[in-house]
Amino acid sequence: MKGLLIKDLKLMKNQKNFFLVILVVIAFLAAGSDDLSFPMGFTAFIGTLFTLSSISYDEFDNGNAFLFSLPITRKQYVLEKYGFGLLLGIGSLLTAVCLLSAVRLVKGELSLVGRLSEIGFTVLAVLALNWGFLALMLPLQLKFGSEKGRVAILGVFGVAAVLGMLASKSAAFFRISVTAVWDGLSAMGVGMAGVLLLVLSFGILVCSMAVSMAIVKKKEF
């Protein structure tokens, strides 16, 4: 599994110019806005996309047939992809936080110190969303491949949008106050809400990993 991780890191190294451009974009976003969530979320999202791209690289020119002729198991392959995704998500997020802090210090704005609770919740929330996105995308990418996977992902988001609308209509029909639910979550405290969100997303990620293992074990290369 270590060899697979080295392979993906070397592939990422070949894209260093792309990542430098992303860092410049994040710096401009940080300089022009006080919003911290978007630059952090954008950076973590790019990290997740590269995890999916690594699967596309493996599939290119029937590369998986050669890859699985090496002394690795399909379980190890799936574990490495999820580990690589977690590594990129956390690494990208930490890079964004450091860059945002540096930009604020250059601008002479030391207000980040007074916004530690906000930053902490934003980091936890973005990380949770990153893990949820990873949990959704990886099984689809492994099942359908890069081309059909995009169509499947659009279909999933379409179904999610419809379910969201139905949930909203149902809440209105049964007179469930969304505001009251949100106020209840807020009463728990920002830190506790962020931790619970992170634990929930990690549980979803573990379930997704089991699904991905089943997919890869049945797949023919």
For residue range 67-122, what is the model confidence (pLDDT) as tens digits? 888 888 889 999 999 999 888 888 888 888 787 777 777 766 555 544 555 677 77
Q: Can you give the pLDDT at residue 211?
A: 93
Give the C-alpha distances (Å, rounded to integers) separating 40 from 26, 29, 173: 8, 10, 37
pLDDT greater at residue 46 or residue 150: 46
Q: Can you give the pLDDT at residue 214?
A: 93
> How many angstroms separate the CA atoms of 212 and 206, rounded?
10
Q: Provide the mean pLDDT of the chain.
A: 76
Q: Specify the length of the chain in residues.
A: 221
Q: Which residue has the tokens 């399909």?
A: 74
Q: Can you give the pLDDT at residue 117?
A: 59
CA dihedral (15, 21, 25, 28) in degrees, to 10, reads: 140
Q: Is the pLDDT of residue 153 over 90?
A: no
Q: For residue 29, what are its two tokens? A: 């976003």
Q: Can you give the pLDDT at residue 72?
A: 85
Confidence of residue 29 (pLDDT cuts 50, 70, 90): confident
φ and ψ of 175, to 5 deg: 60, 45
Q: Which residue has the tokens 């690289």?
A: 57
Q: Can you give the pLDDT at residue 54?
A: 84
